[in-house]
Structure 1
Amino acid sequence: MPHHRIAILTDGYSTPFVAKTAISLLRYRTEDVVAVIDATASGSTTQDLLGCGGAIPVVKTLAELPEVDALYIGIAPPGGKLPDEWRPMILQALRRGIDVVSGLHDFLTEDAEYIAAAERSDSRLIDVRRNRLKVTAECHRFRPGCTRIHTVGQDCSLGKMVTSLEIHRGLVRRELNSKFLATGQTGIMISGDGVPIDCVVADFVSGAAEQLARRYEHHDFLLIEGQGSISHPAFSAVTLGLLHGSAPHGLVYCYEAGRTHVKGLDDVPLTPIKQQMDAYLVAANLRHPCKFVGIGINTRNLSDEEASAEIERAESTFGLPACDVYRTGADKLVEACIGLRGEVLAE
């Protein structure tokens, strides 16, 4: 996205569970964010409110921000519905000529009032999830040396995107030719490109993932953002489509320490990690030879000592390098991906 003065709207929904889009924008596009809008926390900073962004202010209304070129919807609630109470502020932005960017399932571009306001001010309505992708997978033979690493995991919303981004950034810091491939709305808002895979028609999910990877196969490393999980009661189809479309060489398994049940389905226990990992390997290898190269652990609910113990336990149990990319950095996983590329080149 070409916006460089962004206001993020989270008003009344500023929790880690719902405002994950805002949190990721604050972390990865810090220099572009002017403020977060939340009347319940105005006067504080985003660091106080969401744990990131430093001194970026939290304000009560858009009227307090004279120079803004875009209003980003900063939440990803269950069901993807745009809060009705936000309509006046969205209209205010459009009337000022400010673009409005949303990753929700409620499309701005299907609302007559928003469309009319945008047309009058020459502002843009950008629905990140909206697409017309209809491309069938062709079992493409990727360029030799294009090493594809895909994050998969235990459940939704536990760090697959962040793990992919941090590995990518680590490779770039070493001056290696890497590209992050976004497959969800937040990743697309961060990188400015990608495929909203959960809004692609089912028959074309694998084809859309394959097309995205083909577009960037001139890079030496592709870090492909994961979605859902292979055992998720609702979202497993998208997970499988990404596995087969991107044809990864390596997988990084992501989980949250202490999580026991599927997000949003409190009566559905999570599938045991070893069983999930076995299922990922079977599914991935149906398309392309693949193996696990590391573990990304979300230790947000653990103390430093507990986190260290959890990382050691995972490494001992699975025989793979493990880390919490927020807490300990991604160096172990970066090294594992570099090692994988050596194996790919030797084939």
Structure 2
Amino acid sequence: MTSFSNNGARTSDSDRRLIILTEGHTEPVTGKTATCVVRYRPEQVVALLDSTQAGRTTQELLSVGGDIPIVASLDDAPLANALMLGIAPSGGRIPPAWRKIILTAINRGMDVISGLHDFLCNDPEFANAAALKGVHLIDVRKNNERDVASRLNIREECLRVHTVGQDCSVGKMLVALELSNAMKARDISSKFVATGQTGIMVEGDGCPIDCVVSDFLSGAIEKQILEHQHHDVLFIEGQGSISHPRYSAVTLGLLHGCLPQAMILCYEVGRKAVYGMDYMPLKSLVELREVYETMANLMVPSRVIGVAMNSRKVSAEEAEKERERVRQELGLPVCDVIRHGPEDLLDPIQAMLPQTVAS
């Protein structure tokens, strides 16, 4: 993490030592911001703050981070110099019970980093306290995007791969990150394009697509494409799902703005209903592949070339059975990029690159 460029601040964080606030939410879904920062930036994390889980480790509760401790209060993490809000709840609101902890951190001279829709800098109590202490309130989602898409100067030799989902919170960001990192390991120039708060916190740049005025959404992601298309491959983080009643608008705007030539369809094994709406059954992978390809092809020739399964809730044996079932159903390579590694998805992506790059 080197900077958060979309909130107007260029923040060097080479010396940042984080305590990540997850009070009452130290689990992989609501706490996905904490989980991913611990996974990809563990050297910056001193501890997680959750009084309900104090004494345990992140490895126990999040399956990442080794012996990074979970503590009960700021007093238990004296080396921390910044507080990060580590949750990504529906609606993006700051839990009222967290206000006291945030104010305590500010009064101790700690920067506070948030990716929520409730902006710290717009809260008079937080802003006044921060001004008195000379600390920074960093709102990762804050942006001033005002450009519409133009579809000009797009370099077709740069392969754009977009992770799309059966639902929200199925691992689209993680898949894009893992594929980008693995492509770099093959000595191919690759860039992860972050489109949400957690991805921006991990990568250090990007655009918070779900907080951009709708007219400018496609233009905002197009700006990211233009900025980074000197790479051979861009892996663009997906948001929401085309079939989610709450988030389909941002999904479609992002899809049309990033103009992917290839898509990876992501889903969680065992999930039956829309996240946050248990009364609504999920659309099938077969149906969603057709819808994503139809929508993408309105703008550029595109197809789903692989499936990323999130199998964290099932055994290895169950995951293998599910993997084979989806392979047969869709006729595509399928893997869990954490459990199986990303190679099965990398090969068809690399095959789409110009021969001079792929070899």
Both structures adopt the same fold (TM-score exceeding 0.5)? yes
Amino acid at match of 1:128: V
Amino acid at match of 2:172: K
Partner residue, 2:323: 311
Partner residue, 1:327: 339
Amino acid at match of 2:351: G
Contact 1:146 1:219 in 2 (8 A): yes
CA distance in 1, matches of 2:191, 2:81: 27
Q: Cα deviation per residue 1:264-317 (whole Å; 9 max; x = unaligned)?
A: 011111112111110111110111111111110011221111101111121222
Give % identity: 49
Question: Are positions 1:88 and 2:100 aligned together?
Answer: yes
Change (3 A) 1:81 1:344: farther
Question: Are positions 1:114 and 2:126 aligned together?
Answer: yes
TM-score by length of 2: 0.93
Following TM superposition, by how much is the alpha carbon of 1:66 offset from its aligned partner in structure 2, in angstroms? 2.0
What is the number of equivalent residue pairs in this alignment? 346
Question: Are positions 1:264 and 2:247 aligned together?
Answer: no
Partner residue, 1:240: 252
Partner residue, 2:6: none
Following TM superposition, by how much is the alpha carbon of 1:91 offset from its aligned partner in structure 2, in angstroms? 1.0
Q: 2:299 aligns with which of 269, 287, 299?
A: 287
Partner residue, 2:239: 227
Partner residue, 1:13: 25
Partner residue, 1:73: 85
Following TM superposition, by how much is the alpha carbon of 1:121 offset from its aligned partner in structure 2, in angstroms? 1.4
CA distance in 2, matches of 1:343, 1:320: 22
CA distance in 1, matches of 2:296, 2:156: 18
Query: Higher mean Cα deviation, 177-186 or 131-140?
Result: 131-140
Query: Higher mean Cα deviation, 140-149 or 32-41?
Result: 140-149
CA distance in 2, matches of 1:324, 1:25: 20
Secondary structure, counterpart of 2:277 in structure 1: coil
Amino acid at match of 2:25: Y
Contact 1:150 1:251 in 2 (8 A): yes
Change (3 A) 1:283 1:343: farther
Question: Are positions 1:179 and 2:195 aligned together?
Answer: no
CA distance in 1, matches of 2:274, 2:61: 26
Q: 2:218 aligns with which of 206, 214, 222?
A: 206
CA distance in 1, matches of 2:40, 2:210: 22
Following TM superposition, by how much is the alpha carbon of 1:69 offset from its aligned partner in structure 2, in angstroms? 2.4
Partner residue, 2:65: 53
Contact 1:144 1:345 in 2 (8 A): no
Partner residue, 2:7: none
Partner residue, 1:126: 138
Question: Are positions 1:297 and 2:309 aligned together?
Answer: yes
Amino acid at match of 1:312: E
CA distance in 2, matches of 1:94, 1:65: 15
Contact 2:31 2:87 in 1 (8 A): yes
TM-score by length of 1: 0.96
Question: Are positions 1:218 and 2:230 aligned together?
Answer: yes
Secondary structure, counterpart of 2:206 in structure 1: coil
Contact 1:184 1:195 in 2 (8 A): yes
Contact 1:147 1:344 in 2 (8 A): no
Q: Cα deviation per residue 1:174-215 (whole Å; 9 max; x = unaligned)?
A: 121000000000000101111100011111111111111111
CA distance in 2, matches of 1:304, 1:233: 32
Partner residue, 2:8: none
Amino acid at match of 2:349: C
Question: Are positions 1:97 and 2:109 aligned together?
Answer: yes
Question: Are positions 1:147 and 2:159 aligned together?
Answer: yes
Following TM superposition, by how much is the alpha carbon of 1:144 offset from its aligned partner in structure 2, in angstroms? 3.3
Contact 2:188 2:357 in 1 (8 A): no
When the two chains are superposed, the root-mean-square deviation of aligned CA atoms in Å is: 1.5
CA distance in 2, matches of 1:292, 1:101: 35
CA distance in 2, matches of 1:345, 1:23: 34
Change (3 A) 1:343 1:208: farther
Secondary structure, counterpart of 1:101 in structure 2: strand
Secondary structure, counterpart of 2:344 in structure 1: helix
Amino acid at match of 2:34: A
Following TM superposition, by how much is the alpha carbon of 1:344 offset from its aligned partner in structure 2, in angstroms? 11
Structure 1 residue runs of 5 or longer lacking an equivalent are: none
Partner residue, 2:178: 166
CA distance in 2, matches of 1:108, 1:344: 48
Q: 1:31 aligns with which of 43, 51, 70?
A: 43
CA distance in 1, matches of 2:230, 2:284: 37
